[in-house]
């Protein structure tokens, strides 16, 4: 059975002090929640203190990016070895902002996926179409390309260890949200693509999150859909009570 995972992505927000304060509040709110995976993606600068802040709790920490080499002359980059050593358990990869602003290709993202898996951490692989793609009827085509690229060269056993986050780019930070029916239709198509690649048994074990402006007021409807297994939450993950409200919607 695949697990429902609610993950927060803070992006370029929160100092160390702010991160610790929020996580200290959150871990108290979610005590005893064991049917839903809880993950917070924090900036590199806050990761060490974030891991310490949630030690012994049911909250896991994600990095928001990684460079796919263990070490070397890559000034300013952070390796999977460094993340693993800190106690990071998840890594967010292929986010639309990384693809758009930093021109990350599917091939480069695939390198990162393999590096994260090789070090025993869980990739959260983001995929999703832009508004012009949806309006042109290319949603499934774009997602298929990004799935095929991100999962390239992986075995079924490796594929099962990946969390997919479907993020329609037109619904990130815009206040627009795909209706539960539209989101479900796209999630179903994503699972079908994974079925074609790895077989039904593997595809049915892969958690597919929705990541397009999920908030406390729409989370329950979205999470009720058959193929939506959680959320990758942006703005609503910055405040412990808002994030907890989404987690409650998944219970």
Instruction: Tell me what pLDDT residue 221 has.
Output: 96
The three-state (H, E, C) secondary structure of 90-147, written as one string: EEEECCHHHHHHCCCCHHHHHHHHHHHHHCCCEEEEEECCCHHHHHCCCHHHHHHHHH
User: Which structural domains are found in the chain, ordered by start?
Assistant: 4-249 (3.20.20.70)
Instruction: Tell me what pLDDT residue 111 has.
Output: 98
How do residues 196-211 score in pLDDT, each as one tens digit? Answer: 999 999 999 999 999 9
Is 119 one of the annotated active-site residues of the chain? no
Instruction: Tell me what pLDDT residue 171 has.
Output: 82
> Rounded to whole angstroms, how far apart are CA atoms 195 and 163?
15
The pair of structure tokens assigned to 222 is 């979205």
Q: Could you say which of 95, 104, 187, 193 is catalytic?
A: 95
Instruction: Tell me what pLDDT residue 110 has.
Output: 98
Q: What is the DSSP letter of 198?
A: H
User: Which residue shows structure tokens 């998840």?
Assistant: 90
Is 167 one of the annotated active-site residues of the chain? yes
> Rounded to whole angstroms, how far apart are CA atoms 93 and 72?
21
Q: Could you say which of 64, 104, 129, 167 is catalytic?
A: 167
Nearest-5° angle of CA 188, CA 194, CA 195? Answer: 85
Strands 208-210 and 163-166: parallel
Instruction: Tell me what pLDDT residue 51 has.
Output: 98
pTM value is 0.97
How do residues 116-152 score in pLDDT, each as one tens digit? Answer: 999 999 999 999 999 899 889 999 999 999 999 999 9
Instruction: Tell me what pLDDT residue 1 has.
Output: 78
Instruction: Tell me what pLDDT residue 250 has.
Output: 96
The segments of the chain whose pLDDT lies below 50 read none
> Rounded to whole angstroms, how far apart are CA atoms 58 and 79?
25
């Amino acid at each position: 059975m695949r697990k429902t995972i609610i993950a927060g992505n803070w992006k370029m927000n929160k100092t160390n002090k702010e991160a610790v304060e929020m996580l200290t509040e959150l871990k108290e709110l979610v005590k005893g929640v064991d049917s839903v995976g809880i993950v917070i993606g924090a900036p590199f600068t806050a990761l060490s203190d974030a891991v310490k802040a949630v030690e012994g709790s049911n909250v896991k920490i994600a990095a928001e990016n990684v460079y796919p080499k263990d070490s070397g002359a890559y000034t300013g980059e952070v390796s999977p070895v460094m993340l693993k050593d800190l106690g990071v358990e998840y890594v967010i990869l292929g986010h639309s902002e990384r693809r758009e602003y930093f021109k990350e290709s599917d091939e480069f993202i695939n390198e990162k996926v393999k590096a994260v898996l090789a070090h025993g951490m869980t990739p959260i692989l983001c995929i999703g179409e832009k508004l012009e793609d949806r309006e042109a009827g290319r949603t499934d085509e774009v997602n298929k390309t990004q799935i095929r690229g991100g999962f390239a060269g992986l075995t079924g056993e490796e594929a099962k260890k990946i969390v997919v986050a479907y993020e329609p780019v037109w619904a990130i930070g815009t206040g627009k949200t795909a209706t539960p029916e539209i989101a479900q239709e796209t999630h179903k198509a994503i699972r079908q693509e994974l079925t074609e690649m790895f077989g039904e048994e593997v595809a049915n074990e892969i958690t597919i999150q929705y990541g397009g402006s999920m908030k406390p007021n729409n989370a329950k409807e979205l999470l009720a859909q058959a193929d939506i297994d959680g959320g990758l939450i942006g703005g609503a993950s910055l405040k412990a009570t808002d994030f907890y409200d989404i987690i409650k919607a998944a219970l």
